[in-house]
Amino acid sequence: MNDVPGRSVRPRRGLLAALGRPARVVAVAFALAIVLGTVLLALPIATESGRSAGLVNALFTASSAVSVTGLSIVDTASYWSTFGEITILVLMQIGGFGVMTLASILAVLVSPKLRLRFNLTVQAETAALTLGEVGRVVIGVVKLSLFFEAVAAVAIALRLVLGYDRSVGPAAYESVFHAVSAFNNGGFALFSDSLTRYVSDAWICVPIALAVVIGSLGFPVLLELRRELFQPHLWSLHTRLTLGVSGILLVVGPVLITAMEWNNSRTLGTLSIPDRLLAGTFHGVMPRSGGFNTIDIGAMNTESLVVMDGLMFIGGGSASTAGGIKVTTFAILALVIAAEIRGEPEVKALNRQIPNSVQRQALTVALVSVGVIVVTTLVLLSLTDLPLDLVLFETISAFATCGLSTGALNEMPAAAHIILAVLMFAGRLGPITLATALATKERNRRYRLPEERPIVG
């Protein structure tokens, strides 16, 4: 519509605006998926015993699957039937597709540069997003997800068939389930011991670890790498920060975990040196929200659990299947601290200046996340007799949708399970929706108040 002189033209509202606030759309969509999953898992056909799993078991598992967390209060391998396992698989896929798609769309709404890179014909002043443009984002997410899942599934299936004499049917089923779980950072496994039986098998551990890492980078980064893999000078600041911080954490995590558990006879201590390096590296990667384990998490040293707490809290990339506050949030906070220490008035990164609004968003997301974890930990401590380190680990794992557990989860009452189910939902959507809400509520004032500096420190 052309503007008519003398008339004020009301800006067109896009698809998401027509549906309501973007954060509300995301929350409702995931809530409906959890409700549907709860209903399906509560059916008698979903369990091996033929009896209903009950509301708490079904709700907790559905919440864990849709939020691609991987925490479970029952043994996935023996408790759920094939119907139940397939339901969990579908819920993980829906959760992974959903968070990558919705987070990417929300990123497009608040980032003009991402609009350009996605080739979306969006008017910056109206943040309009049409159905066709949403479709292109969805198709892109589906294509990338299915490609990486297929590659991981083929690698795992070949190993199971050639290395373990598994028949083609069961090998295909197990490989697809674990590939989907890995890429979507779901953490569910079809074995009672997770992947402990494959602690020494690099042909199983490496494809799963790579799928977890790739899934944790996020759709915007994967799309940019697909187009400009060998042209790093064209990468956006988001991609460079995500890859840079992820690379650092992927070195620091495995090194610390391997060193701290090297002589622990209950974890790495009894393995050969190559197997120690493999298992240590694997468990340095999994806190990015992978959720698998090849050694007993409950037997790890307290120092290792603290390191994993930090890695889980940071999580993976924005618009990815990983949880946590996200590596870009962590990077921005680190840059703010560095600039303050150096006395610089502006926060810069890789020849770019970080806007003040983005700095405030990062600080808000991080502090709100810390507050949620602290409050939840205090509540859980009042409901159980478990020590602080174990309760804190389970809380962060749930909030960061990681899925690693020390085993303390099974010692908690039903009320704690419901609280953690809500926390998984909040952890999955909280950082995304909070950051989007903050970005879309930006407003400029026509006046400034007088400054007064309080004492800090």
- Cα angle at 368 between 365 and 372, to 5 degrees? 135
With respect to residue 4, please indicate whether it lies within any of the assigned structural domains: no
With respect to residue 240, please indicate whether it lies within any of the assigned structural domains: yes
- Looking at residue 440, its pLDDT comes to 56
DSSP-derived secondary structure letter, 134: H
Polymer length in residues for the chain = 457
Which tokens in the block code for residue 178?
């674990």
- Looking at residue 18, its pLDDT comes to 41
DSSP-derived secondary structure letter, 309: H
With respect to residue 446, please indicate whether it lies within any of the assigned structural domains: no
Which tokens in the block code for residue 248?
């650092």
Q: What are the pLDDT tens digits along the chain (457 aa)?
A: 444 444 433 444 444 444 345 556 677 888 899 999 999 999 999 999 999 999 999 999 999 999 999 999 999 989 999 999 999 999 999 888 877 776 666 665 555 544 444 443 323 222 334 555 566 777 878 888 899 999 999 999 999 999 999 999 999 999 999 999 999 999 999 998 899 999 999 999 999 999 999 999 988 888 888 888 888 888 888 899 999 999 999 999 999 999 999 999 999 999 999 999 999 999 999 998 899 999 999 999 999 999 999 999 999 988 788 889 999 999 999 999 999 999 998 999 888 899 888 898 889 889 989 999 999 999 999 999 999 999 999 999 999 999 999 999 989 999 999 999 999 988 887 766 666 655 555 566 677 778 777 877 7
Which residues lie closer than 8 Å to 52 by C-beta, 6 or more apart?
42, 43, 44, 58
Determine phi and psi for 96, rounding to 5 degrees: -65, -50
Pairing status of strand 352-353 against strand 348-349: antiparallel
Which tokens in the block code for residue 390?
């174990």
DSSP-derived secondary structure letter, 80: B
Question: Exposed (0-12), middle (13-18) or buried (19+): which is 450, by Cβ within 10 Å?
Answer: exposed
Q: What is the pTM of this model?
A: 0.86
Amino acid at site 227 = R
With respect to residue 448, please indicate whether it lies within any of the assigned structural domains: no
The two counts, helices (H) then strands (E), for the chain are: 17, 2
- Looking at residue 24, its pLDDT comes to 67
80 beta partners: 47
d(CA 370, CA 359): 17
With respect to residue 88, please indicate whether it lies within any of the assigned structural domains: yes
Quote the number of domains for the chain.
Answer: 1
With respect to residue 8, please indicate whether it lies within any of the assigned structural domains: no
With respect to residue 449, please indicate whether it lies within any of the assigned structural domains: no
Cβ pair 433, 27 in contact under 8 A: yes
Its domain, for residue 197, covers: 15-438
With respect to residue 45, please indicate whether it lies within any of the assigned structural domains: yes
